[in-house]
Amino acid sequence: MLASIQHQMEGTKFLRQFVEGKLISPVLLVGPEGVGRRSSILQAVQESFCIGTKQEGCLCNSCFVLLQGSHPDLIILRPEGDSDIGIDAIRELIAQTTSYPSKAKQRVFLIDGVDRLTVPAANAFLKTLEEPPLRSRIFLIAETYDEVLPTIRSRCGRINYNHLPEKFIASMLLQYESDPAKVLVYSRMSEGSVGRAIQYWGSGRIKLRDQVLKILQSALDRDLPSLFASVGDIEKDLVVALKLLEQVLHDVLMARVYPVGIINVDRTEDILSIGKRGSLKVWVNLASRVHGLESQYRTTKLNLPFQFKTILTESFG
């Protein structure tokens, strides 16, 4: 139940009020993906709805139905693919908030991705947030507080979810990966998210990281044919590769002062060797340009392969 959520004291303390029937106002949970926002709500809902032991592993009918994802008093709304949450979906949810609970004492509504509400949808939802029906509880999830519309933010309580400790993430990964070096790399790659670490492990992200290192080596060697061919090989994963390059450049700079703190600890010698081939000014400038390209791509959808190759060739040309 809620007690199973670790390293999120602010969130669990706040949600405990919901379990005890003391929380009425809508709540906005803010934090990176994979740190326990969604699972803590689901655990709190299970504990609140439970008609059995209210302990982990309870087999009462309410817990069973909830774990099957079919409890009629838990309604979850998420964006579909790349689409935002529009006004029709919000109107349907608003209509459901006026219905009486089927099994539990109250109905719980979770909007998982409230930062993806369109402006008309957000405006249609404001009155419900201001005056939630008596037997409805509303939870909203977002990764970044500033990306949630101010009109939504002003009508909700806020709970911050923090990055999880590296040791905790590593302990979770050891259930899947026996190589301690890989566990440490994936833990640090995830930037404090268990969910992200497991996703990275499942997709074999270290292999893509190795290709990024190869591309960087080609750029340093001014081997343009190899550079362009390698970028072409990973073009479908280029958005992820850009993030991995940012982490590699972080390591190049970090290795100068604190090599044990780098992310890609399994490639420490390569990172140190790469760092010696450029000045501090070169690496700082490249890191800044890569970060800027990553941010720009999220908003403009520019020609990423071209820009990726341009930055690398200009940095070492």
* CATH architecture label of 2-160: 3-Layer(aba) Sandwich (3.40)
The model's pTM is 0.82
Residue 220 is encoded by which pair of tokens?
Answer: 């340093």
Residue 41 is encoded by which pair of tokens?
Answer: 């709500």
Contacts of 217 (CB under 8 A, 6+ apart): 274
pLDDT digits (tens), the chain, 317 positions: 888 888 998 999 989 999 999 988 999 999 999 999 999 999 999 999 999 999 888 989 999 999 999 999 999 999 988 789 999 999 999 999 999 999 999 999 999 999 999 999 999 999 999 999 999 999 999 999 999 999 999 999 999 999 999 999 999 999 999 999 999 999 999 999 999 999 999 999 999 999 999 999 999 999 999 999 999 999 999 999 999 999 999 999 999 899 999 999 999 999 999 999 999 999 999 999 999 998 888 777 789 999 999 999 999 87
- Residue ranges of the domains in the chain? 2-160, 204-316
Q: How far is it, in rounded angstroms, from Cα 276 to Cα 281?
A: 12
Q: How far is it, in rounded angstroms, from Cα 90 to Cα 5?
A: 30
**Domain 204-316 coded CATH 1.20.272.10:** yes
The DSSP letter of residue 282 is: H
Residue 275 is encoded by which pair of tokens?
Answer: 């760092």
